[in-house]
Amino acid sequence: MTGLTELVEQAPAISLAHDSITNETGGQARRRPHICFVAPAAWPVLTANIEIPTVGGAEVQQCTIARALIESGYRVSMICMDYGQPDRTIVDGVTVFKSFKPANGIPVLRFLYPRLTSLWNAMHRADADIYYQRSASMLTGIVAAFCRRHGRKSVYAGASDSDFMPGKELVRYWRDVKLFRYGLHNVDAVVAQNPTQQQDCRRHYARNPVLIPSCYVPPADSRGREESGNEILWVSTIRHYKRPEVFLDIARRLPEFRFKMIGGPGGGDTKSRHYFSEIEAAARDISNLEFLGFVPYSQVDAHFDRARIFVNTSFYEGFPNTFLQSWARGIPTVSFFDPGSRDDGEPVACLVHDESHAAREISGLMMDIDIWRKHSARCRSYFEVWHSVRTTVGMYEALFRTLTEHAEFPH
């Protein structure tokens, strides 16, 4: 990847400085590492901004983990795109360094300027010990190259199962695919969300990822599931591989139940907008289905409080935040893909293979309270053991200790 090295060496060099921490006797104490999340699209999630119509599972996880690390005493920063916020804005203890504006630059050329140069500059200004990036993109390569050049540590966390399946990465340009693969080979640590990702990463990249489950903090006012709602809920981005049309078909098969669909377009290009419009038009014609379109992440939780069942129709995922939002409330999930979660050998999600199977499972859960309670209890119990913030952050702290145990950062 000599081309990458040549590019990043052109990025502006900025002097680095770092505060030291002393112990009670006045000697130098080993401090907790400063963690920087390279998450360009996370600003709307971090600030609960409802005016910017974008939300992603990777951004949700990074914001959740960042806040939890702050509570554990870590210094945490984040690199986001420039949405008009001041540089070094502090949000819930997280110092946000801004990089490029979302639409700035000339197509093709903007990869180098302003995107690469502004990201490199922001990583210099953050001056962190560990840089954390999540979800397959060219960012993985840039973060790996920066850390190798400047003696810092890098972590890549998988988002979709496709991240570790060469040829199936959800990355648009071949150049960016090459950068992602370079990064995956060169980061200091890889994090997988589920056993499938672990196995695929070992098989295709000869890396041994650390398995760290995703986490979620349910709102304090989320109500108990015994007073469960009566809606069958679907929440995701409207993309082809998410297969929203399958949910529409299930709703048509079960006219006696209420369905709700939430999700915005999968991109700003003409193809994505056209697909969204097709799904929206079809949904409007189904009398027992309510189509809401895009809903900001900060407002989605209220819809889970009114749900009785959650449905995922994707061919593949990583580990959806929507499962956590469901399971924390004891809402059973019906899923077309297997996230690998097991409780005493039994799948936590109700796994189905086609629309007819899904309709039967949903009907059973809606009509038989004993079946619903059994699945509800399993979901809630599994969430509390494996997906609490305390569990996830404890695993990250162990990873950070391993990365920095013998490291000498050039501060």
Categorize the per-residue pLDDT at 55 as very low, low, confident or very high, splitting at 50, 70 and 90. confident
For residues 393 and 284, membership in a common domain is answered with no
Write out pLDDT tens, residues 203-256.
Answer: 999 999 999 999 999 887 765 555 567 899 999 999 999 999 999 999 999 999
User: How many distinct structural domains can be found in the chain?
Assistant: 2
220 in any annotated domain: no
For residues 196 and 279, membership in a common domain is answered with no
Side by side, which strands form the sheet with 130-134?
A: 89-91, 94-98, 76-80, 35-38, 130-134, 153-157, 189-192, 210-211
Residue 158 three-state SS:
coil
Sign of the torsion formed by the C-alpha atoms of 405, 406, 407 and 408: positive
Q: What is the mean pLDDT of the chain?
A: 88
Classify 269 in phi/psi space as left (phi over 0), alpha (psi -120 to 50) or beta. beta
| Residue 229 tokens, joined | 């709602």
410 in any annotated domain: no
208 in any annotated domain: yes
Predicted confidence at residue 31, as pLDDT, reads 80
> 167 exposed, middle or buried (CB, 10 Å; 0-12, 13-18, 19+)?
exposed
For residues 162 and 237, membership in a common domain is answered with no
325 in any annotated domain: yes
319 in any annotated domain: yes
For residues 230 and 190, membership in a common domain is answered with no
Predicted confidence at residue 16, as pLDDT, reads 33
Q: Which domain holds residue 179?
A: 2-215+389-404
Residue 106 three-state SS:
coil
| Residue 288 tokens, joined | 């027992």
Average pLDDT over every residue of 187-197: 95
For residues 42 and 175, membership in a common domain is answered with yes
**62 CB-near residues (< 8 Å, 6+ apart):** 37, 39, 42, 78, 132, 134
For residues 247 and 151, membership in a common domain is answered with no
Calculate the alpha carbon distances from 143 to 40, 100, 155, 329, 395 in Å: 12, 16, 9, 36, 22
Categorize the per-residue pLDDT at 186 as very low, low, confident or very high, splitting at 50, 70 and 90. very high
95 in any annotated domain: yes
For residues 325 and 393, membership in a common domain is answered with no
For residues 190 and 56, membership in a common domain is answered with yes
409 in any annotated domain: no
For residues 199 and 265, membership in a common domain is answered with no
For residues 375 and 393, membership in a common domain is answered with no
**pLDDT score of 4 more than 70:** no
For residues 200 and 314, membership in a common domain is answered with no
**119 CB-near residues (< 8 Å, 6+ apart):** 38, 40, 79, 99, 100, 139, 142
Write out pLDDT tens, residues 117-148.
Answer: 999 999 999 999 999 999 999 999 999 999 99
| Residue 325 tokens, joined | 């939002």
Average pLDDT over every residue of 333-352: 93
| Best CA proximity match to 128, nearest among 59, 181, 79, 67 | 79
| Residue 194 tokens, joined | 């589920």
Residue identified by tokens 């404890």 is 394
**pLDDT score of 29 more than 80:** no
In degrees and rounded to multiples of 5, residue 131 shows phi and psi of -110, 125
**β-sheet bridge partners, residue 79:** 38, 97
Predicted confidence at residue 211, as pLDDT, reads 95
For residues 191 and 250, membership in a common domain is answered with no
Average pLDDT over every residue of 187-210: 95
Pairing of strands 289-293, 258-262: parallel
What whole-number distance in Å separates Cα of residue 55 and Cα of residue 58?
9
CATH number at residue 320: 3.40.50.2000
| Contact indicator for 325, 304 with CB cutoff of 8 Å | yes
